[in-house]
């Protein structure tokens, strides 16, 4: 059986689904497929994400933001950056950004996904439980073979978008190489409850063996992301609750401990391998990559999904313009998209890697310089304002239609 669409999107995570919704609203006919069935059931630990003000504005433009907020959101009004055991520190507050109610919002991924998929109209045809077997391209577009429980099908489209995550089948099948490296770190995630709550503050603690972030959840708990060497990760994951709380309290240091108080409880732990993986090309003829399929970065700065939503906003913006029209298979579509996303991706990945590298050394003069550097940022309004705008994702919105 053969079906024809303007665009076929492989991967119905937040990024693929947001793209489907935005383009369907513009009148495009979209096929969206995922190897999994959709599920919005709670998970333990929760899969939590910090989205910045820029992403919030984009989701608001799609008419989703109020629905997402109603499901529950932790508001990041302040960010406290420190290096436990070293003097330097830096604080950022949303008050320094004129019109932003917060620097970011901590949300459950399932709530964001549900809000998006609830809005799908008949312009989005979904194929769940569908495995992509392969595709070929000619001058008209792409022909994709998929396998479903009912049998095999062929989907034809002017454009194929890979939104299928870090190990993207689409990227590999198109022969697009990546550059990057394994961080040789595990990201341990868990929810924790503390004596004094969070006061709408996210804490970023930088240690030589890896950073740790505490993100404020809507119910007063924190979501923890702790980057550690695998051998330490294995030990941490084997500890009981008391042992884990003890190790965590030691890691965040006395200053943060004083603010958040005693650790009262810790939920289930889960871990993820951490890597940097950037596609060498974001577009190859009629195949485009978005989200983690295009770029996977270390989660410490909380920028991966924000970056992916900017891919979506830029691509939707390009396709809204008259010159693209319905001629999606024009080579200029992919070329323009790739060109517009390259710099932002490299800037975010470069900044994240730079911060990790800066804090990775135990060499005493370097520790001392780091302390000075953080204090200098704290006391230099221009630098701080720039960092604030990047963290809130409002600095990168330039060029997007509102």
Ligand X SMILES: Cc1cc2nc3c(=O)[nH]c(=O)nc-3n(C[C@H](O)[C@H](O)[C@H](O)COP(=O)(O)OP(=O)(O)OC[C@H]3O[C@@H](n4cnc5c(N)ncnc54)[C@H](O)[C@@H]3O)c2cc1C
34 lies in the site for ligand X, by CB under 6 A? yes
Q: Which single residue is written with the structure tokens 């989660």? A: 299
> Candidates 67-75, 163-171, 235-243, 344-352 — which segment interacts with ligand X by CB under 6 A?
163-171
- Asked if residues 189 and 106 have their Cβ atoms less than 8 Å apart, the reply is no
Nearer to ligand X, 88 or 356 (CB): 356
- As a whole number of angstroms, the distance between CA 263 and CA 248 comes to 9
Q: Give the number of residues in contact with ligand X, rule: CB under 6 A.
A: 32
Q: Which of 35, 232, 249, 383 binds ligand X (CB under 6 A)?
A: 35
132 lies in the site for ligand X, by CB under 6 A? yes
Nearer to ligand X, 297 or 370 (CB): 297
187 lies in the site for ligand X, by CB under 6 A? yes
- As a whole number of angstroms, the distance between CA 367 and CA 354 comes to 15
Pairing of strands 287-289, 141-148: unpaired
> Candidates 28-36, 136-144, 259-267, 316-324 — which segment interacts with ligand X by CB under 6 A?
28-36
What value, to the nearest 5°, has the Cα angle with vertex 347 and ends 343 and 351?
170
Nearer to ligand X, 214 or 305 (CB): 305
Q: How far is the CB of 33 from ligand X (least distance, A)?
A: 6
H or E segment to which residue 234 belongs = helix 230-238
Tokens coding 346: 């490299």
Nearer to ligand X, 88 or 340 (CB): 340
- As a whole number of angstroms, the distance between CA 59 and CA 78 comes to 22
Q: How far is the CB of 363 from ligand X (least distance, A)?
A: 28
Burial of 377 (C-beta count, 10 Å sphere; 0-12/13-18/19+): middle
148 lies in the site for ligand X, by CB under 6 A? no
Q: How far is the CB of 276 from ligand X (least distance, A)?
A: 12
233 lies in the site for ligand X, by CB under 6 A? no
> Candidates 6-14, 320-328, 339-347, 364-372 — which segment interacts with ligand X by CB under 6 A?
6-14
- Asked if residues 158 and 7 have their Cβ atoms less than 8 Å apart, the reply is yes
- As a whole number of angstroms, the distance between CA 23 and CA 21 comes to 6
- As a whole number of angstroms, the distance between CA 321 and CA 108 comes to 33
- Asked if residues 242 and 202 have their Cβ atoms less than 8 Å apart, the reply is no
- As a whole number of angstroms, the distance between CA 293 and CA 165 comes to 4
Q: How far is the CB of 15 from ligand X (least distance, A)?
A: 3
Q: How far is the CB of 293 from ligand X (least distance, A)?
A: 6
Q: Which of residues 270-309 bind ligand X (CB under 6 A)?
A: 272, 291-292, 299, 302-306, 308
Q: Which of 16, 141, 211, 216 binds ligand X (CB under 6 A)?
A: 16
Q: Which positions lie near ligand X, rule CB under 6 A?
A: 10-16, 33-36, 49-50, 131-132, 163-165, 169, 187, 189, 225, 272, 291-292, 299, 302-306, 308
């Amino acid at each position: 059986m053969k079906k024809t669409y303007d665009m076929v999107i492989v991967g119905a995570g937040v990024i693929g689904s947001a793209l489907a919704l935005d383009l369907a609203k513009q009148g495009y006919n979209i096929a969206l497929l995922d190897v999994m069935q959709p599920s919005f059931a709670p998970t333990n630990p929760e899969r939590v994400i910090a989205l910045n003000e820029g992403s919030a504005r984009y989701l608001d433009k799609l008419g989703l933001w109020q629905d997402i907020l109603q499901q529950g959101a932790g508001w990041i009004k302040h960010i406290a950056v420190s290096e436990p055991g070293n003097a330097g520190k830096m604080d950022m507050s949303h008050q320094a950004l004129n019109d932003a109610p917060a620097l970011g919002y901590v949300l459950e991924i399932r709530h964001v996904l549900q809000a998006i998929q609830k809005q799908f109209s008949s312009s989005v045809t979904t194929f769940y439980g569908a495995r992509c077997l392969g595709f070929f391209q000619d001058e008209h577009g792409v022909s994709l073979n998929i396998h479903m429980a009912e049998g095999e099908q062929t989907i034809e489209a002017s454009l194929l978008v890979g939104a299928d995550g870090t190990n993207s089948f689409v990227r590999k099948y198109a022969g697009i190489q990546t550059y990057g490296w394994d961080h040789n770190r595990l990201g341990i995630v868990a929810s924790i409850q503390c004596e004094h709550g969070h006061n709408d503050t996210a804490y970023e603690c930088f240690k030589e063996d890896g950073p740790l972030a505490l993100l404020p959840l809507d119910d007063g708990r924190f979501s923890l992301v702790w980057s550690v060497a695998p051998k330490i990760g294995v030990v941490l994951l084997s500890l009981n609750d008391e042992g884990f709380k003890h190790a965590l309290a030691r890691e965040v240091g006395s200053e943060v401990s004083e603010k958040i108080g005693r650790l009262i409880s810790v939920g289930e732990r889960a871990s993820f391998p951490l890597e940097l993986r950037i596609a060498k090309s974001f577009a190859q003829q009629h195949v485009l990559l978005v989200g983690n399929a295009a770029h996977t970065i270390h989660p410490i700065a909380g920028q991966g999904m924000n970056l992916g939503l900017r891919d979506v906003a830029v691509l939707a913006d390009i396709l809204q313009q008259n010159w693209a029209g319905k001629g999606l298979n024009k080579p200029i579509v992919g070329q323009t998209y790739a060109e517009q996303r390259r710099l932002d991706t490299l800037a975010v990945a470069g900044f994240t890697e730079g911060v990790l590298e800066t804090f990775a050394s135990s060499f005493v003069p370097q520790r001392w310089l780091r302390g000075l550097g953080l204090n200098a940022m704290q006391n230099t309004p221009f630098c701080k304002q720039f960092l604030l705008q990047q963290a809130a994702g409002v600095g990168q919105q330039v060029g997007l239609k509102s």
